[in-house]
Amino acid sequence: MIIEDRVRGPFPLCHLDLHYGNMLFDKEYNLTGIIDWSSAQAAPLEQLSVCPEFATFPGMSDEENQPMIDFKNLVVQSIREIEQDQERKPPLDNPDLDITGQSNLTPLSTYMASKGVEITYRQYMSSPRGSLFAGRMVAGLIYGKSVTWEQLKEVYGAMSLF
């Protein structure tokens, strides 16, 4: 799922292995550092939104998945508050950049709260062995319980089979 207004950047720095084992906390549980930056890269916002800790499990009940949903909602709300308080500044490597036109870019919190992030996660984390299962989950997220021929034509158009 592509965020159209972010196709050409800006691309944030993504840790790509950000989980509780790579976070350092003090005795009051304040985050004091992040370790293991070996896979870090500048990447699209969609990549930054992929977080295994937010994943729900299809084999578990809604009640069993609720802690993951609550945690994700808390993180999204916290990011939204930071975004609202954040002062818009040009990037350090281009201090003269006019950022007034960038104020309408899709914020990370908006994307993280969308169905698109679940689709991105399922595609990104899928292994070759689990790809059929992941494909079914993604199709369910996109189309619901069933897909009509009209929906498929709308997505793929009229194209020849060979």
**87 and 26 inside one domain:** yes
| Rounded to 5°, angle at Cα 125 from 122 and 130 | 80
**C-alpha closest to that of 123 among 132, 114, 112:** 132
Residue 120 lies in a domain: no
In whole angstroms, give the CA distance from residue 123 to residue 126.
5
φ, ψ (nearest 5 deg) of residue 23: -110, 135
pLDDT on residue 59: 82
Q: Which pLDDT value is given to residue 61?
A: 92
Query: Is residue 12 assigned to a domain?
Result: yes
pLDDT at 161: 62
- In this structure, the answer to whether residues 110 and 130 fall within a common structural domain is no
Residue 35 located in a structural domain: yes
Check pLDDT > 90 for residue 74.
yes
The pLDDT > 90 percentage for the chain reads 24
Say if 75 falls within a structural domain. Answer: yes
Distance from the Cα of residue 67 to its chain's centroid: 18
Q: What is the DSSP letter of 158?
A: S
pLDDT given for residue 50 in this prediction: 76
140 and 102 together in one domain: no
How many domains in the chain?
Answer: 2
Phi, psi of 34 (to 5 degrees): -125, 130
Domain boundary among 94, 114, 134: 114
Give residue 69's domain range.
Answer: 4-114
Asked whether residue 121 is assigned to any structural domain, the reply reads no
* Spatial contact of 42 and 13, defined as CB atoms under 8 Å apart: yes
Q: Is 101 a domain residue? A: yes
The more confident residue out of 52 and 37 is 37
50 and 75 inside one domain: yes
Residue 42 lies in a domain: yes
> Does residue 135 share a domain with residue 99?
no
90: which 2 tokens? 């040009």
Tell me which range, 29-43, 44-58, 77-91, 108-122, is most confidently predicted by mean pLDDT.
29-43
- Rounded to two decimals, the pTM is 0.65
The answer on 146 and 91 residing in a single domain is no
pLDDT digits (tens, 9 = 90+) for 136-159: 888 888 888 888 888 878 877 776
Are 96 and 134 in a shared domain? Answer: no
